[in-house]
Every structure is written in C-alpha cells, then in structure tokens.
A and B are shown apart, each in its own frame.
Chain A
Amino acid sequence: MAIRIDLPVDAKVIRKLRVGDEVRLYGNVITARDMAHKYMVEERPDWLRPLLENNVIYHCGPVMKRTGKKWSAVAAGPTTSAREEPYQGTVISEYKVRAVIGKGGMGPKTLKALKKEGAVYLHAVGGLATVLAEAIKEVEAVHKLEEFGVPEAFWVFRVEDFPAIVSMDSHGKSLHAAIRKDSLEAAEKLIHG
C-alpha cells in the first residue's frame, strides 16, 4: 500500500520512510537539472528558498506545451540523477529540501546529506513520461525559462497521486549501493571465473 505524502512535508514524516516504501505525492514539486543545480550552488539565490523549503526537487526536463498563456506538461519522466551528485548534498542542506525525485539513484555525498537533514531520494521509473505527465495537474509557475531553455528551467508542478519508490532513505540505506555491490560480485565471477 502506497504512503500518501502531502507537500510541503516535515522532516519527521520523512524520517519514517524506509527503502522499498512506495509513495504517492500530492502538492508542488519543482524541477531542477544540470544548469539549475550549478546555479543553486554557485549563486545561492534567495528567491528559491520559499519554493524549496520542506519541498521536493524533481530531476526532470519535460516536454511542455503552451496554449495561449497557459503551459501544460506533455511528457515529464525523470532524468538521470547521478549528474547532480556533486551539487545535491549542498542543495539539500542549503534549501532544506525534503525529497529528490529522479532515476538511477545517487552517491555517498547525497546519502550523507539525506541522513543529516532528514530527506529521501525517490525513484520514479525512467521513460514513464506520459504516465507521469498525467499526474501533473497544473503548471503553477516557471522560472529562468528564457535563460535556461525548456528542459533546464525551474518548472513548478502541482501533482496528484505521483508514484515513486524510496530507494535511498534518511537512515543511511541505499538500494543502489546494494545492487551495485551484488552485481559487481556477479561480474567478477563471470569475468575471472
């Protein structure tokens, strides 16, 4: 049974989540990928603080559609999170982010920040662009669109029933680290006998 998470969310609620838990998100998430993470760490903009505190970052570069002045998300699955590994821990601490949604998992620096701050990494299924776009009910705002372009802009999405799985929790556990270790052992056996 999936756990409903309403946003913004307290660290207390997040601390209860464990690797393997299925969640459904309700509320606002904000997209941020490569340019956005570099910008957040290098410039530490204050205008983002109210948007990010106790909220969720989504690693996503969507396909968007504009009808008149209104934007809608056409395709919006997760992008590879590993590219943000150099920045993510700092961003989580600086902006009090409670969850990061992406795909492929992240490394030890992020895992440490999740534990310290009370945050989780949520894995969405890569390539699920149409299904996940259906969970985006409203485009609340967009920032840095001109400067960063459509895939890299900060899009504020109001989501309902957005599905993801906790793959790194705030207790130091990572599904990705476990799979990496097991698959390395299997590979070594296949390679060296």
Chain B
Amino acid sequence: MAVNLADAFLELIRRASTDLPPDVCAAIEKARRREAAGSPARSVFGQIQENIKLAREKSTPICQDTGTNIYNINLPIDMPHAIVEKAILTATKRAVKKSYLRPNAVDSVTGANSGDNTGVGQPQIHFHQWKKKHMEVSLMLKGGGCENVGRQYALPNAELGAGRDLEGVRRAVIDAIQKAQGLGCAPGCLGIGIGGDRGSCFLLSKEQFLRPLDDVNPDPILRKLENRLQKELNQLGIGPMGFGGRTTVLSTKIGKMHRLPASFFVSVSYMCWAFRKARMTVRGEKVTHGY
C-alpha cells in the first residue's frame, strides 16, 4: 500500500488530542446557556470553551491526561492486523515526541514509565473484520480521572432497593453519578451497559461512546430510560467540575446484551467533558480524517 499508515495514524492522534468534535462542542455550548449568568458554573463553561479554542489553534493537548488510547478498527479481510498494529505503535511513539500524547504507560509492578506511551495492553486496539474494502478507524482518548469513577453493579442491590429490572438500572446509575461528584471532570458523557458478564458489560458501556451524542437509540425502551436519566441526573446539582449547577451530565447512552440467568450486571462508564474522539477512513490510497 502506497499510503503511509503511520503518518495517517499520527494525524488521527493529533486531531483526537488537540480538538473536540462538533457534537461535543454543541453539547457544551447548550449546557453553558442553561447556567445562570454570572454563576461559577457558567464561568467554568466559558473557561472550557476558551481552552478548546486555544488548544485547536496551537495544536496542543486539550487535557494533559491523554488517556488510554482506545482504537476500534473495522478491517477488510485482506488487511493483516500486524501491519496496522505496527503503524499505530510507530505513530504513538512519534506523537509522544511531538507532545500530542503524554508518556502514559506505567509498569503496574515496578512503577517504571515506558516513556513512549506503549506497553502491555497500551494502546488498546479492538479489531473487527468486515466485508467492505476500506478500513475504518475510531480513536478515543479516555483519561484516568473519569475512568476511576466508573462503576459496576451486580443486581439486586439491597442498599439501593435495586432489583433486576430497568428500575434497578435507573437506581444504580443515579447512585454511580452521585458518588462520582465532579471527580471525573463533570459534566460527563455516560456509557451504560446492561447484561453480559463483568468484562463484556464494561466493554459494552464503552462502545456507547462510539455513538454521536445527538443520536437516537433505536430501542424505544432504552431511549425512554436514557431520556429520563438524563433529566434526573441533571437534578443532582453537581454541575461542571462539581461546583454546583444545572448540568451534571451531557449525554446518557445505554446498550444491552444477553446475560446468564444468574447474572444481572450494570456498568457505568464516565467520559469527562473533554470527550476526545476522532475517525479515519483509509480507502486504497485515500485517507480521510473526521470525527
């Protein structure tokens, strides 16, 4: 292939780290308008917007925690994983040198930082083979602060009075967001998974982040719960950065999968307001970057 894949991935990383997509910017602007004039909440949103603008102009990271780099890749059948993986690793190391990414991979036993943002399981790459002729890549950068406030519930939960039904799911999510306070850099975007086992349920919750913020859930039951939770969570009063305010979450997305009769998991993944995501399509020699 004549296209330089490492160059294409480097540009994808630069865009993801230094810019926010239009759907996220629109949600932030909508939230800013909702806050009272002169309130700390409104001032926080103003500073957030100033930072987005400056980072875009200077091509520097929106946030210094450039996060876990999560790739979701749809791959044509004749394209080997190894080639793509190698290009990603090369691009990642170059992105650290260019200060688009922080060296963010730490040995869990020795505490040693690898220095180039690569290591065991870093970056995180999910390959899916498909029948189309082109490759489609989605990259999101998920910071540690918001990852730390994610939660998983095994229902029933006596303390919340949460049974194995959608009302139980609702109670678990409210509990998770109250406990998160402003620590995940509120207002957050929520990805919620219902079902599966512990591992697949968390993955499902993160897959919700691939949906545009303004999309509509095709499942009418989940759509109804998303809308209700979105409204109720914003009544918690936590507000941007936990300073108090009318917007505690920017979006609520829910997905479901089958479960075992014995298990009922609910996973809540929290994405900070600095929801960094970018997309890339490689079709023959043509590379297209987008959101």
Contacts and interface: CB of A to CB of B under 8 A. Distances in A.
B55 to A, nearest CB: 4
A118 interface: no
Contacts of B5: none
| B interface majority secondary structure | loop
| A interface majority secondary structure | mixed
A74 B40 contact: no
A80 to B, nearest CB: 4
Contacts of B61: 63, 74-75, 129-130
A131 B238 contact: no
Contact of B64 (A60, A167, A179, A183): A60
B64 A61 contact: yes
A71 to B, nearest CB: 11
B102 interface: yes
Given A74-B99, A123-B241, A129-B51, A104 B145 contact: yes
A182 interface: yes
Interface of B: 40, 44, 47-48, 50-51, 54-55, 58, 60-66, 99, 101-104, 106, 111-113, 115, 144-145, 148, 160-161, 171, 174-175, 177-178, 181-183, 185, 232, 235-239, 241-244, 272-274
Contacts of B272: 126-127
A172 B241 CA distance: 21
A151 B64 CA distance: 9
A13 interface: no
Contacts of A97: none
A153 B46 CA distance: 31
Contacts of B242: 104-105, 176, 179
Given A77-B63, A79-B145, A176-B181, A130 B111 contact: no
B92 to A, nearest CB: 14
